[in-house]
Amino acid sequence: MGKKFVVPFGSQHIAIPEPIRFIFTTENEIIKSVSVDFGYVHRGIEKACMTRYKYTQVPYVVARVCGLCAVSQATAYCMAIESLMDIEIPERAKYLRIIVHEMDRIHSHLFAIAHLSEAAGYENLFMRVMRDREFVMECLEILTGNRIQADYSTIGGVNRDLTKEVYEILKPRLDELERRLYELKEIFERDYTLQKKWKGIGVITLEMAQKYNAVGPVARASGLATDCRVEFEYLPYKELDYKMVLYQEGDVWARNMVRLDETLVSIRVLKNAIDNLPEGDIKVKVKGNPKGEALIRWEAPRGELLYYVKGNGKSVLERLRIKTPTFSVIPVMKELYYNQPYAFVPDITISFDPCLSCSAR
């Protein structure tokens, strides 16, 4: 029995730029108990959507829930309203939504990978990944007109079309990005330092993932096959040769590799979508107000995103509920710390790619 020490991690910590607070009680550097607290950046977005904004304005409001997965939030909300009001959007709009959504996923995943390598002390690799991420950011900028806040999905379709000029700029950039991603994969697979640092650390077993209801890349790294893109057919992912990435190890390394492999899958889906883009309109006109309830589960870069919408025939929604992926993985994250040395905490925390501003809404 060693002496007990209480070590606070956060609410401001150099390993995570976002506010979350853990209080670890350690014995000889081994963690014995954890308490988690978050919600420091609550902005009341749900309440604002239910009182101040019309339901047609809400896509632009919920996009501000999260910076990195802004596209997923807006798309999920639009799909919820469309299923509520029985709106069938054009095929071209569906494909365009996939294109922007996958670009969003690539840049979010590359950011997570870069961040994890930085936490491992590999600054050099961090800069390299961030440099390659710039390719997809530029693609997003050309297609949607902005780097982060795409404001692309709207109720009934999308806001901008993919013209021929844009296609000619995008195509070579995506090829170059794919080449660079394969190079990155080779580095991550072979690097001696990273293997030592990440393999066998923070292992989530399949039983644990099921018991604590893990989502997204975290679940898929433990062999739990959960992916809303496969489970639901809101958007035509099947036609675009999408395959789920599964790893069995469940450690920090596997979580990183799932993200890296998913970017490669996303690139393949993206290229298929851009080449086989159907002709037609990008938007249908929407009339009337929503009445009834709808629930949507949608795959954001970090995992399953849940939107519940309830309308009562007025222009302002009666209820909007957002459950973000980081919120779902916090229980398994907490469970993982027990009986681990304190030195592993930054790596484990960042391997979840936490987005606390999302969870606090």
Least Å from the CB of residue 192 to other proteins: 5
Q: Are 52 and 65 in contact (CB under 8 A)?
A: no
Which CB atom, from 187 or from 246, has the smaller least distance to other proteins? 187
Q: Write out the residues near other proteins by the rule CB under 8 A.
A: 53, 56-57, 60-61, 124-125, 128, 131, 134, 138, 141-142, 144-146, 149, 151, 159, 187, 191-193
Q: Is 44 exposed, middle or buried (0-12, 13-18, 19+ CB in 10 A)?
A: exposed
Complete DSSP assignment for 23-59: EEEEETTEEEEEEEEE-TT---HHHHHHHTS-TTTHH
Complete DSSP assignment for 100-138: HHHHHHHHHHHHHHHHHHHHTT-HHHHHHHHHHHHHHHH
Least Å from the CB of residue 145 to other proteins: 4
Which CB atom, from 171 or from 243, has the smaller least distance to other proteins? 171
Tokens of 249: 């190890």
The amino acid that residue 349 corresponds to is T
Asked if residue 66 belongs to a known ligand binding site, the reply is: yes
Which CB atom, from 34 or from 110, has the smaller least distance to other proteins? 110
Least Å from the CB of residue 182 to other proteins: 13
Which CB atom, from 72 or from 117, has the smaller least distance to other proteins? 117
Least Å from the CB of residue 288 to other proteins: 16
Least Å from the CB of residue 120 to other proteins: 13
Which residues 6+ apart lie within 8 Å of 351 measured at CB? 116, 198, 202, 252, 255, 256
Which residues 6+ apart lie within 8 Å of 119 measured at CB? 15, 346, 347, 350
Q: Are 28 and 303 in contact (CB under 8 A)?
A: no
Which CB atom, from 15 or from 142, has the smaller least distance to other proteins? 142
What backbone torsions phi and psi does residue 181 show, to the nearest 5 degrees? -65, -40
Q: Are 336 and 251 in contact (CB under 8 A)?
A: no
Q: What is the DSSP letter of 343?
A: G
Asked if residue 139 belongs to a known ligand binding site, the reply is: no
Angle at which helix 91-119 crosses helix 164-190, to 10 degrees, equals 30
Which CB atom, from 59 or from 303, has the smaller least distance to other proteins? 59
d(CA 34, CA 146): 40
Which CB atom, from 33 or from 193, has the smaller least distance to other proteins? 193
- Summarize the annotated binding site for Mg(2+) as residue ranges: 46, 322
- Summarize the annotated binding site for Fe cation as residue ranges: 69, 358
- Summarize the annotated binding site for Ni(2+) as residue ranges: 66, 69, 355
- Summarize the annotated binding site as residue ranges: 46, 66, 69, 322, 355, 358
